[in-house]
Amino acid sequence: MLIGKKQDRELVVDNIIRSILNSSRATKRTITLFIDSIFIVSAFWLALIVRLDSFSPLSKLDNWMLLALLVPTSLFAFINLGLYRAVLRYMNAQALWAIVLGTLITTIALVMFAFFIGIEIPRTMPFIFAWLCLLTVGGSRILVRAMIGKLTTANKESVIIYGAGSAGRQLATALGTGPEYYVRAFIDDDNSKQGSIVQGIPVLAFNEIYELVNKGKAKKVLLALPSESRARRKEILSQLEPLSIKVLSIPGMADVVEGKAKLSEFRDVEIEDLLGRDAVAPKPELMAANIKNKVVMVTGAGGSIGSELCRQIVKQKPTKLVLFEVNEFGLYSIEKELCEYIQSHQLQVELIPIMGSVQRINRVETVMMAFGVQTVYHAAAYKHVPLVEHNVVEGVRNNVFGTYYTAKAAVNAKVETFVLISTDKAVRPTNVMGATKRMAELCLQGLAQNKGKSHNTRFCMVRFGNVLGSSGSVVPLFRRQIREGGPITLTHQDITRFFMTIPEAAQLVIQAGAMGKGGDVFVLDMGESVKIKDLASKMIRLSGFEIKDKNNPHGDIEITCTGLRPGEKLYEELLIGDNVGETLHERIMTANEVMLPLAELNVFLEALDIACHNFEHETIRQLLLDAPTGFNPTDGICDLVWNVKQKTDTLSDNNFEEHGKVVNLKN
């Protein structure tokens, strides 16, 4: 019964406080002025009573007259010092200083009024009055602020900030003024900071985070480590992963300063941090070699790699950048983005958006000649393995002949440098996409054999693995599946892939192109391959969920395997042989691999062209097998149109036979 009454009283007090907090600013100021008047009056009488140890001062009219002068003077001083403009919940040192200075002015006014009016007061009474005034006027505000803080934090989500450095402290300040989060603690690896209090928040060692999480006192961990290396961030994430607590990171201070992000904007943990590999700073001389003050053309400019190449190229200040793209929206998007960048940075770069297909040699050649193209980055290709498996002819047309026609056009237009964006799937390919990309490499190697004889175009190829965030990447798919509550779908539990960020890949492509002599195959150092299942597991745990499996049937998100897709490999490779050479860049290697003589290449391409024209998929398959591509298909012909036609032809033959049998019976 007593407990119920106590709770009712607390509820009433809570409602009163909330109603006052939700009232208008003018109402709050009026209430505060009234309360402060009571505090000043109380401090005056208490000072006299305490000093004289008697209630007799209350009966003297002189004291009441002195108080009538003192109260408005004191309030006038506080008002002019800005005390009532300060918001209680955000009260800072300036407001406290206003209280101290206002109390001092009030005390001096008390002494002067008493002197000039001729009212006798004890000498120590003003000092007692000053201390009581500070205690009541200042202390009440501190108390109210604490009560408001308690009310607001009750509705806030409790978080831990990893990192008690400048970024962490700024983040804590920003969160303290917001309605969403309450900082429970800092976690820091610096022993000198552990055990201390920063901005009223305790700094703990990492092992103390377990207690906070297990007791439900923290819901999220915010990484305030913008300057740490990716290797160090990977180490921290590995420590946090077993906790199954949601981990978010804050943007870098450079992005905050440039207005690209806010300090209080949290992001999901970047996959780059999970990989733990720091990007190597590009070499300026290699970046600029084939671009600066030159006319550059990018095919497939609207794609994932092509668009990033364009962003990196613009920074190197070419005279013209030709954006060649078959997709209208992709071309519009990248042109708009680059136009805004050029204008904001006041660059003298002419953008030329051209719609067209690399399969039309006349179109490509005319464009190159019209604008005097000197460097070409060929990124136009079909790259999705299952789609190319299901559309074989178009895959061959675009990836093989599109590359060959673009390269021939470059020769005819006297282009200086031609760089092909290849893939790790071109190494011992098990699918049509990989085989066509290896054929594209052979086309360029064949044309490179005539360098110095019939042309001076320098051809080279750059081979790398998966890039994070590209179209069709598993990372955005996994994020969406986690948001939807799962399951996360894998094709195989043992599948591994190489990963690299799109900007890093684009920079390395540009640098590799600057080192080519003719027919070079450059291979990018992708670091260690990543097991996709491990990547999915880490993303689940760092999102604050548990993996659901037979060992943990009550978990949140399940990982399921759907089976390898047509043509899909378990393991990707970057090199066909072991003959690898070093280059001027530590992340770029060169490979010496099998080439097809130009005469044989032309015969092969002619046969392949005829087979594609006649939709002879068996012949296409055999030609790809006969070429020095290393093609070793894991599946039969998966072309959708061809398979339907095969079924239709089979049914027609069966119907014909059945019809023939019926006729014979009648005869």
Residues annotated catalytic, as ranges? 425
DSSP state of 303: S
How many residues are there in the chain? 667
Return the residue matching tokens 């913008």.
226
Interaxial angle between packed helices 474-483 and 532-541, expressed in degrees from 0 to 180 and rounded to the nearest 10: 40
Q: CB of 421 within 8 A of CB of 444?
A: no
- Cα–Cα dist 482/543, whole Å: 8
- For residue 233, which of 263, 207, 272, 262 has the smallest C-alpha distance? 272
Bridge partner residues of 375 (DSSP): 296, 417
Buried b (16+ CB within 10 A) or exposed e, 121-156: beeebbebbbebbbebbbeebeebbebbeeeeeeeb
| Residue 550 in tokens | 């037979």
Bridge partner residues of 561 (DSSP): 490
Paired sense of beta strands 530-531 and 458-463, if any:
unpaired
- Cα–Cα dist 655/657, whole Å: 5
DSSP state of 136: I
Paired sense of beta strands 197-198 and 557-561, if any:
unpaired
Name the burial class of residue 209, with classes exposed (0-12), middle (13-18) and buried (19+) by CB atoms within 10 angstroms of its CB: buried
Integer CA distances (angstroms), 80 to 36, 87, 140, 506, 533, in order: 15, 15, 20, 61, 66
- Cα–Cα dist 377/514, whole Å: 11
- Cα–Cα dist 3/1, whole Å: 5
- Cα–Cα dist 441/463, whole Å: 10
What does 521-575 look like in DSSP terms, one character per residue? EEEE---S-EEHHHHHHHHHHTBT--EEBTTBTT-SEEEEE--PPTT--SS--S-
| Phi, psi for residue 128 in degrees, rounded to 5 | -65, -40
Give the number of C-alpha atoms closer than 13 A to the C-alpha of residue 382, restricted to the C-beta side. 25
